[in-house]
Amino acid sequence: MIELRHLKALTTLRETGSMVRAAERLCLTQSALSHLFREMEDRHEQPLFVRKSRPLRFTSAGLRLLQLADDVLPRVAVAQRDLARLASGQAGRLNIAIECHSCYQWLMPTLDAYRDDWPEVELDLSSGFHFAPLPALVRGDLDLVVTSNPDQSLKGIHYEPLFSFEMCLAVNRKHPLADRKWVEPQDLAGEVQITYPVERERLDIFQHFLDPAGIEPAAVRTAELTVMMVQLVVSGRGVCALPNWALHEYLQKGFVSQLRLGKSGLWSTLYAAVREEMLEQAFLRDFFVTAKDTCFANLNGIRSA
């Protein structure tokens, strides 16, 4: 018997390209995932993919099951969505605010896909850069806030983890630090730090890297857009810290060099904050699924939270 969990595991392996990342995405141990694939192969009496191949190669049997998965899993998702509509009603409102300038890169395709699945849900999007969105969420002015800074002191708020990402430092390719693999806080004491125009305590580079070490940059310069920040770095006006996935396209084009913040890197998690009372709404739960699927399909370097 072919089970949905088997098809999901196989498609995840195809998307991630490795057992380690697939297990992480599925929230399983690598041993449990290996056992699952062995169970499938024993059942079908043939291997499904070539172990230790780079890139990962599927056998004819594996490709046939992937073809089945591509046909069946979307139809199952649609059926589950339809059943959820019948159970809890179709209409609703999602007034969304974001505290992450770079998030438009994945949020817009997420909203496009979500509108197709839930046309009856009223969607509204606003920037959370110039006001405090989490208190507005508590008051009911907002329905969902995308944030990497959860405030645990606020009662009645649920923080749904979307994905984890690494904050990295972008420097000019001719910068003295460009050949380094990572930097320590003191390396940035004489640098102009380019940031988004938000409060210092909402910026990971300060909150989790410079401030704990008591390091102050030479100056702070702000820019509204990611592309503006990168352009300033390219022109030698300073350095900036951005999520690894936001820097990917600029690295591919050879515009900047990327360094880790500390030897182990500086990792953060992005959350969708909602009021606990809304968690039973099917349209909200499906937004979580759509957002995660879109992010893992389109963003480089992220991990399951």
Q: What are 124's strand-pairing partners?
A: 95
pLDDT in tens, the chain (305 residues): 889 999 999 999 999 988 999 999 998 999 999 999 999 999 999 999 998 888 899 999 999 999 999 999 999 988 887 777 656 656 678 999 988 878 888 999 999 999 988 888 889 887 655 668 899 999 989 999 999 989 888 999 999 999 999 999 999 999 999 999 999 999 999 999 999 988 888 899 999 999 999 999 999 999 988 999 999 999 999 999 999 999 999 999 999 999 999 999 999 999 999 999 999 888 899 999 999 999 998 999 999 98
What tokens does 31 get?
């041993």
| pLDDT score at 83 | 77
Would you state the pLDDT for residue 101?
78
For 266, the 3-state DSSP assignment is strand
Please give the helix or strand (H or E) that residue 273 lies within, else none.
strand 266-275
Q: Is 236 left (phi over 0), alpha (psi -120 to 50) or beta?
A: left
> 10 Å Cβ neighbour count for 91?
11
Q: What's the confidence (pLDDT) of residue 109?
A: 92
The per-residue pLDDT for 100 is 80
Q: How far is CA 61 from the centre of its chain?
A: 32
* Predicted TM-score (pTM) above 0.85: no
Give the model's pLDDT for residue 232. Answer: 97
pLDDT for position 91: 63
Question: What is the spatial distance between Cα 235 and Cα 173, in angstroms, rounded to a whole number?
Answer: 10
Per-residue pLDDT at 86: 56
pLDDT of residue 49: 94
Angstrom distance (rounded) from CA 76 to CA 62: 20
**95 in helix, strand or coil?**
strand
